[in-house]
Amino acid sequence: MLDKILVVIFTYNEEDKISLVLQKVCERFKNVLVVDNNSTDKTIEIVKKFSVYYVKHKYNLGKSNSMKTGLNFAELNHFKYVAFMDGDDQHKAFDLENICQKIYKDNGQLVIGYRKNLNNLNFKKKIGTIVLSKFFYLLYKKKIFDIQSGLRAFNIFEKKNIYWESTGMRHYFADAEITCNAVKNGCKIEQVPIETLSSEKYKGMNILQGLYLMLMIFIWRFF
């Protein structure tokens, strides 16, 4: 049933985590692609031990372009759905499976995993998630609990409605841009609660980048 879905996992120097992540994901999914952003540790050597596809970028292209690599691979190999997941073990394989089951059974367009218990996050990430959700609702009139969630799946045939341009210093904005484009273009968006890991460290955007993201959310809405 899940053979039409390609799971894309992003890595950068994840030698301590990637083996456990792949063990769990490969128990549930047949088609897995690891997109590595030119890791300098043993990440790729570990990945090669698993029955998965893998691509190693010659340079660190950032998350956004890694997502595009995964989408291009899925299109070339005729998958109907693609699911994105980080390789640092911040997401659970069973949550990924629930999201993929949801999009497959409903023949959905976009399914986003949202962290259901923000109290388990550190203060910065908790406040950032809440502020972005409220700001998003103010502009788009759509309640999305976790617009920046990296655990999501979408129908490849919706590419024209959700495609993202964020790159460079905005490479972490891709998930939010996908969400904004999907709402603007009337895509059916479903949300699935996922586990919130108390050990999750704050990584990715700082406060200034968060403010920049809010500006981009405004721009994506009106321009």
CA-closest candidate to residue 86, choices 123, 125, 113, 48: 113
Sign of CA dihedral 48, 59, 34, 53: negative
User: For residue 126, what is the domain's CATH number?
Assistant: 3.90.550.10
Is the Cα dihedral 148, 1, 34, 116 positive or negative?
Answer: positive
Q: 88 exposed, middle or buried (CB, 10 Å; 0-12, 13-18, 19+)?
A: buried
| pLDDT, tens digit only, all 223 positions of the chain | 688 999 999 999 999 999 999 999 999 999 999 999 999 999 999 999 999 999 999 999 999 999 999 999 999 999 999 999 999 998 999 999 999 999 999 999 999 999 988 887 788 888 999 999 999 999 999 999 999 999 999 999 999 999 999 999 899 999 999 999 999 999 999 999 999 775 455 455 688 999 999 999 999 999 9
Query: What pairing do the DSSP bridges indicate for beta strands 152-155 and 81-86?
Result: antiparallel
Residue 143 burial (C-beta neighbours within 10 Å; 0-12, 13-18, 19+): exposed
CA-wise closest residue to 73 among 58, 46, 53: 53
Residue 36 CA to residue 190 CA, distance in Å, equals 28
Q: Which domain holds residue 98?
A: 2-222
Burial of 160 (0-12, 13-18, 19+ CB in 10 A): exposed
pLDDT of residue 126: 87
- Number of domains making up the chain: 1
Q: How far apart are CA 51 and CA 31, in angstroms?
A: 9
pLDDT of amino acid 121: 79
